[in-house]
Amino acid sequence: MISTPLKRFQKKIGYSFKRRHWIETALTHPSYRHEGDRAEQRDNQRLEFLGDAVIGLLTAECLYTLEPALDEGTMTKFRSMITNRSGLAEVGVSWELGDLLRLGKGEAQSGGAERESNIADAVEAVIGAIFQDGGMNACRKFFSRHFEPRLHSLLTEKEMQVERDNPKGSLQEMLQRQGKDAPVYQIVGESGPAHDRQYEAAVYWNQQELARGSAPSKRAAEAQAAAKALQVMSSTDHAI
């Protein structure tokens, strides 16, 4: 009968293994196998290799589906954020995975249960084990539960950063995604002495003024107008 710690772990991750040996193997560090008379005990290295490929594919698939505008280079960067050692270890820590790792005495005494590399490798091994036990559909459900929310969060942070860094580009993309014409900018006012000039810009779309911004340069005034327009367009009570 499967042990209580493993039952709790399976409940936490939302997947119940049909064949117990897969999860046991996924949680077995090579150092455990190399001690005593455990030469026949399999460790998690092969499952880690498999899980690495599975999570890479699922992350790429999710990015391809969620963000059609992303180019290959950007998708590669986001995939790395999900599949790198730190990202995987963060997920494993949330599962308290280190407490379940089967480690050799020396590895355990040297802090192996908390070591980032061990936890990240075990996360990949767990994914590989789920693939072996339940197939790709089970892995997709698992990815949707544990990794897709993190990916959504990273994409949202990226969009917010782009809006801050390039509000004019973000506004144009928002409008044109919906088949609309590009926004038009116009300097509608100037004030102040020559050494301290202030410009006021308005941004229009479909002959309708969306917002205004003011700044010491024309370009900055247009950017501020675009940033304000983005706030308006993103509000729930404003229909484009």
Handedness of CA 12, 14, 18, 21 (dihedral sign): negative
Burial of 28 (0-12, 13-18, 19+ CB in 10 A): buried
Catalytic residues: 52, 124
- Distance in angstroms (rounded) separating the CA atoms of residues 135 and 144: 15
Note the maximum CA span of the chain. 87
**Beta carbons within 8 Å of 113's beta carbon, 6+ residues apart:** 98, 99, 101, 103
Residue 147: both structure tokens together: 């990794």
